[in-house]
């Protein structure tokens, strides 16, 4: 998995092994417009090198300047045994400060800064995230150490002014049916957005060549694979074989599931025929069939496999973030009503 969590964790593990000191900075709360959401974090090394982001602008430049000036880390070196406990720092208290640090109008950000992070806890977190686990990390202002506990897909950032709890790991799941070229690009891109990727293709000639690190090949038929995964509202299903014998099987179950996104590859004409087929021959309601995104992906003029994968993931991201793109089915209004 190559999510922002892993990038930050990989960096701090390298820095720890090299004996380099660093601070962790996490967005705890925002007001108004803010460039990064709660839970975004960055590691800031003693020489000013950064990994991750809490603003992507002047705010980070100010943090780097403070570290280089010795504000966060130097006293620890000068006072052996001294503990530097987590503290908070707020940017954007005034309009002048917001402008100076590049925050949007009315924007404020409250940060939690750990000048001596719990290295053992971070190592545990890195190992568990690397195994694809969901984890919660808790930091208490004014207290040493972290608490690392199992997480769930519905976890969100929690901040009560004293305790900051952040979820880590692949909180989203994606089942891809088909192990072709489009699937390979989609699997790689999806992992960067914190999806745990599963791929099912009973066609041996395709599955045998699947080689996307971090993804999991699921044996058997697509509908069985879907049922075994026990999909939840943090799951997505994309059928890419272009073979009705395989795609329809998984769509039949996916459209009944709580998955937030269900899509299938095909032209506008083929997609409409698929909807008619699902309504006529299977026990699906018109409302369930209307959930199908097909042709799959945003209409960005994509032609090549990576472009199609990009269009699919863009549409998944819009749906996941609650942004309206288009009706789930472009031809939903034309769906035939099957008589009982």
For residue 290, give the nearest of 255, 317, 320 by alpha carbon: 255
- Alpha helices of the chain — where are they, by DSSP H? 4-17, 58-68, 74-78, 95-100, 119-130, 181-192, 204-207, 222-229, 244-254, 268-281, 286-289, 305-320
State the pairing for strand pair 172-177/195-200. Answer: parallel
Counting Cα atoms < 13 Å in the Cβ hemisphere of 205 gives 1
Q: What is the pLDDT of residue 1?
A: 38
Q: Where are the domains of the chain?
A: 4-168, 172-334
The answer to whether the CB of 15 falls within 8 A of the CB of 34 is no
- Residue 323: per-residue pLDDT: 87
User: What is the distance between the alpha carbons of residues 43 and 20, in angstroms, rounded to a whole number?
Assistant: 12
Whether pTM exceeds 0.95: no
Give the pLDDT score at 104: 57
Q: Name the token pair of 251.
A: 């769509």
pLDDT at 4: 72
How much helix, strand and coil, in percent to the nearest 5, is found in the chain?
35, 20, 45
Return the CATH superfamily for domain 172-334. NAD(P)-binding Rossmann-like Domain (3.40.50.720)
Ramachandran angles phi, psi of 66, nearest 5°: -65, -40
Instruction: Please give the pLDDT value at position 98.
Output: 59
pLDDT string in tens for the chain (340-residue length): 346 778 899 999 999 999 999 999 999 998 877 778 899 999 999 999 999 998 866 788 889 999 998 887 754 434 444 457 999 999 876 666 656 665 655 568 899 999 989 999 999 999 988 887 889 999 999 999 999 999 887 788 999 999 999 998 877 899 999 999 999 999 999 998 889 899 999 998 899 889 999 899 999 999 999 999 999 888 999 999 989 889 999 999 999 999 999 999 999 999 999 999 999 888 899 999 999 999 999 999 999 999 999 999 999 999 998 887 665 444 444 444 333 2
What's the maximum distance between 2 C-alpha atoms anywhere in the chain?
A: 81
């Amino acid at each position: 998995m190559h999510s922002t969590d892993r990038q930050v964790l990989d960096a701090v593990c390298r820095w720890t092994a090299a004996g380099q000191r660093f601070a962790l900075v996490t967005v705890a709360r925002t007001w108004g417009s803010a460039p990064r959401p709660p839970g975004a974090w960055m590691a800031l090394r003693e020489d000013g090198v950064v990994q991750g982001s809490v603003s992507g602008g002047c705010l980070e430049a100010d943090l780097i300047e403070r570290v280089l000036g010795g504000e966060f880390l130097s006293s620890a070196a000068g006072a052996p045994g001294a503990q530097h406990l987590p503290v908070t720092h707020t940017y954007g208290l005034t309009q002048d400060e917001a402008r100076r640090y590049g925050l949007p109008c009315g924007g404020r950000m409250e940060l939690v800064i750990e000048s001596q992070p719990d290295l053992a806890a971070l190592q545990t977190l890195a190992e568990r995230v690397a195994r694809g686990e969901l984890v919660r990390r808790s930091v208490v202002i004014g207290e040493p150490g972290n608490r690392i506990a199992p997480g769930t897909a519905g976890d969100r950032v929690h901040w009560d002014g004293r305790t900051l709890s952040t979820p880590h790991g692949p909180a989203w799941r994606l089942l891809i049916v088909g192990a072709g070229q489009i699937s390979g690009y989609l699997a790689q891109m999806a992992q960067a957005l914190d999806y745990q990727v599963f791929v099912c293709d009973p066609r041996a000639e395709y599955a045998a060549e699947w080689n996307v690190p971090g993804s999991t090949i699921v044996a058997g038929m697509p509908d069985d694979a879907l049922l075994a995964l026990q999909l939840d509202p943090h799951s997505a299903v994309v059928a890419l074989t272009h073979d009705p014998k395989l795609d329809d099987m998984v769509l039949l179950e996916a459209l009944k599931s709580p998955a937030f996104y269900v899509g299938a590859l095909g032209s506008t004409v083929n997609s409409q025929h698929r909807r008619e087929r699902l309504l006529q021959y299977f026990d699906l309601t018109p409302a369930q069939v209307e959930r199908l995104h097909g042709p799959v992906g945003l209409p960005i003029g994509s032609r090549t496999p990576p472009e199609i994968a990009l269009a699919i993931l863009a549409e998944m991201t819009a749906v996941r973030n609650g942004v309206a793109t288009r009706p789930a089915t472009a031809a939903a209004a034309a769906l035939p009503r099957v008589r009982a």
